[in-house]
Amino acid sequence: MRGKVKNRVLFQSRRLSIYLIRYSAGHEIMSHLDMVSEGRLYKLNCVLVKPSAGGEFSCDRVIFNLFGRIILFRPDLHKHRVSRIKRGSRWLLSFALTRL
C-alpha cells in the first residue's frame, strides 16, 4: 500500500521553489537523483513533523544536517531517499534553489 502525498506549491520562480509537503503512512521515496536542465540544484528541507515510526531521510552526502530536522544537500549529485512511513505523517517545508 502506498500512502498519499499532498504537495502544495507556496512559491515558484525560475530559480527558487518552495513547497509544503505531507507524506502519509505507507509512503516511501526510493533512492533517486533530481534532474535539472541547467545549473546546480540545492535543497533545504525543514522537517516540520516527523512520523512516529519510519520516514527517515538518508542521503549519500549532505552539506549539513541539523538534528535530522534541517537538511541542506545537492539532490542533483547525491542519491537520497526516505524510508517507508510506518505510522503517522511527515510534513516537510522544502526550498529548492537552482544556481546557474
Domain that holds residue 28: 5-99
- Output the nine-digit C-alpha cell for 64: 549539513
pLDDT of residue 4: 87
CA 6 – CA 25 distance, rounded (Å) = 12
- Count of structural domains, the chain: 1
> Which pTM value belongs to this model?
0.91
Instruction: Identify which of 92, 86, 96, 69 has the alpha carbon closest to the alpha carbon of residue 27.
Output: 86
Please identify every stretch of the chain with a pLDDT value under 70, giving residue numbers as ranges: 1-2
pLDDT > 90: percent of the chain? 93
pLDDT value at position 6? 94
Q: What is the pLDDT of residue 1?
A: 44
pLDDT digits (tens, 9 = 90+) for 74-87: 999 999 999 999 99
Q: What is the CATH number of the domain that holds 43?
A: 2.60.120.10
